[in-house]
Amino acid sequence: MIMFRNYKQKQKANNLLETQKKEIQATLLELKSTQSQLIQSAKMASLGELTAGIAHEIQNPLNFVNNFSEVNKELAEELKSELTSGNLQSATEIANDMQANSEKINHHGKRADAIVKGMLQHSRTSTGAKEPADINALCDEYLRLSYHGIRAKDNSFNATINTDFDSSIGKVNVIPQEIGRVLLNLYNNAFYAINEKQKQNIGVYEPSVTVSTKKMNSAIEINVKDNGTGIPQKVLDKIFQPFFTTKPTGQGTGLGLSLSYDIVKAHDGEIKVETKEGEGTAFIISLPFTA
C-alpha cells in the first residue's frame, strides 16, 4: 500500500511537471513570437524614418529637374522665335543655355537615381556577406537621411552638424546595410537627445551632433557625439539590453541599441558609450581593419 501510494504521488508529480513544462514551452514560444514582432516593428520604424529622409533628399534633385525642364521649354520657344527672325547669334546663345540646362538635368537625375538605389540597398534583406564599403560615405549619407527624417516629422527642428572624416581610411569590409542600420539608430538617438534638451528651455543652447572617423593601427573608430540630455549613470549598464529604453512609452521599443550592439559584435567590433547626464553622449564604434 505504501509503495502504491508513493507510486501514485510520483505519477501525480510527474503529470504536474509535464503540464508545467508544456505551459513553459508555450510561454517561451509566445515570447519568441512577440520578440520577433517587436524586432520587425523596430526595423520597420527605422525604415520609416529612413524613407522620410530619402523623400526629403530626393525632392531636391527633382525640383532642379522640374525647374530646368520648365526653363528649357521657355528657351525652346525663344529659340524658334530667333530662328524665324534669322537672328543666328541669339539663337546660338539660347542653344548653349539649353545645353547647359540639359547637363544640369542629367546631373540631378542621376543624383535622384542614386538615392533610390540607396533606399533599395538599405531595404533589401542582407545576404550576410561583407563587401568593401566607403565608411566615410556611409556615415555622411545616413547622417543626412536621419536629419531629414527628423525634420520631416518636425520642421521646427534644427541642429548644427559637424563632421570630421579621416580620408586615409579608404574602404572597409563590412555589411553596408547592417552598419547603416547601426548608424541610423545612433543618429536618431543623438537628434532625439538634443531635441529633448532644447525643449527644456535652459537658456542659450546650440544643439549639435558631431560625427568623426579615425583610422587606428588595426581598427577604425566611428564617433557619434551629441550635446543633449546625456544618459543617467544608474541606467548606463542597461542601455544595450533588449527592450530597455529611456524614452517615454510609445516612442521607443528598446531594441535599437540592442540590435546595434549585436550587429557590431557580429562584425568582430566593439561599441562603447561615454556620457555625462545633462551634458551629452558619445557612442564609439570600433571595427577591425586590415590594409
Question: Distance (Å, rounded) from C-alpha 248 to C-alpha 268?
Answer: 32
Mean pLDDT over residues 47-64, rounded?
67
Does 266 share its domain with 228?
Answer: yes
The mean-pLDDT minimum among 40-44, 68-72, 95-99, 114-118 falls in: 40-44
Q: What percent of the chain has pLDDT over 70?
A: 77
Percent share of the chain, pLDDT over 90: 27
**Mean pLDDT value of segment 47-73:** 73
Confidence of residue 291 (pLDDT cuts 50, 70, 90): low
**Is 97 in the same domain as 137?**
no
Report pLDDT for 227. Answer: 94
Residues 6 or more apart in contact with residue 43 via CB below 8 angstroms: 181
49 and 19 in a common domain:
yes
254 and 178 assigned to the same domain: yes
Cell numbers found for residue 251: 516612442
Integer Cα distance of 150 and 189 in angstroms? 11
Q: Are residues 113 and 146 in the same domain?
A: no
The tens digit of pLDDT for each residue in 154-209 reads: 878 889 999 999 999 988 999 888 898 899 889 999 999 999 998 888 788 999 99
Do 155 and 253 share a domain, yes or no? Answer: yes
Which residues make Cβ contacts (< 8 Å) with residue 174, sequence separation at least 6? 130, 131, 133, 135, 267, 287
Domain of 99, in residue numbers: 1-124
Whole-model pTM: value is: 0.61
Question: Using an 8 Å Cβ cutoff, are 194 and 279 in contact?
Answer: no
- Does the pLDDT value for residue 257 go beyond 60? yes
Indicate if the pLDDT at residue 249 is higher than 60: no
Residues 118 and 136 in one domain: no
**What is the rounded CA–CA span in Å between residue 226 and residue 192?**
10
Q: State the pLDDT confidence band at 285, using cuts at 50, 70 and 90.
A: very high
Beta-carbon contacts of 162 under 8 Å, excluding residues fewer than 6 positions away, are 208, 209, 210, 211
Domain stops at, among 94, 124, 154: 124
Residues 119 and 141 in one domain: no
pLDDT band at 7 (very low <50, low <70, confident <90, very high): low
